[in-house]
Amino acid sequence: MVASDCSRKLRVARYGLRFRVAVALLLCLVCTGIATAQRITVVVPDVQDAARSYYTDVLVPAFEEETGIEVELILMSWAGFIDQFVALHAAGQAPDVAQLGGADLGTFVLNGLIRPLNEWTDGWDGLSDFSPAAVADGMVDGKLYSIAYRLDQRPLMYRADLFEESGLDGRQPPTDWDELLDFAKKLVRYDDAGEIVRAGFNTAS
């Protein structure tokens, strides 16, 4: 399979569901001639019920037919995912490809749980199919450890009435991290025992 054909298949893969990171990296391995193993393990967390059958009945069979490589697919939940991954790594059963949460990349790199992709991606024409922001997001100290297959928008939502109650302007939300911390300190509420009864800020998963 030539590089141009690989790029075409990667573009097609983008229109799938949450499996895109697996497809992209697996095709990268195949197209660069590195994937010589006849069996690989792919770990994907946070798979919604509606997507499970697509993984098992469509995606994996199609990949196996195309490449001749057998895929062991492990579907996990986000809850305890890092602990499960560490256990697999310690047992010498780390997967060949895994989907990670963007916030976890640093943890995986610092603990030596994943390796750079540069030996497969350097000189690979298909890398240009991904946006520069997606590639940069997976860089640590000049090495590429992951490729983002989706970028989320995380808007800030707030209650103007609670801002006003706390002496803040309900029409002016925080504009940087320092302001966010300052606002949160003013918005938080404690009971007589010093326990938090209203958090000043909360992140959604």
| Mode of pairing for the β-strands spanning 97-98 and 39-45 | parallel
Concatenated DSSP letters of 58-75: IIHHHHHHHH--EEEEEE
**Digit-coded pLDDT (tens) for 146-174:** 988 777 777 889 999 999 999 999 999 99
Written as one letter, the residue type at 49 is D
Q: pLDDT category, 36, cuts 50, 70, 90?
A: low
Element (H, E) at 51: helix 49-54
pLDDT band, residue 204 (cuts 50/70/90): low
Give whole-number Cα distances, 203 to 21, 41, 103, in Å. Answer: 25, 32, 13
Task: Assign domain 3-144 to its CATH superfamily.
Answer: Periplasmic binding protein-like II (3.40.190.10)
The model carries a pTM of 0.55
What does the pLDDT read at residue 98? 83
What does each C-alpha distance from 29 to 6, 16, 34, 102 come to in angstroms?
10, 19, 5, 22
Instruction: Compute the distance between CA of residue 135 and CA of residue 24 in angstroms, rounded to an integer.
Output: 13
Residue 32 pLDDT greater than 70, yes or no:
no
Q: What is the residue-averaged pLDDT of the chain? A: 79
Confidence of residue 7 (pLDDT cuts 50, 70, 90): very low
| Domain extents in the chain | 3-144, 160-198
- Enter the tokens of residue 49: 């019920």
Instruction: Please name the residue that has the structure tokens 């890092």.
Output: 82
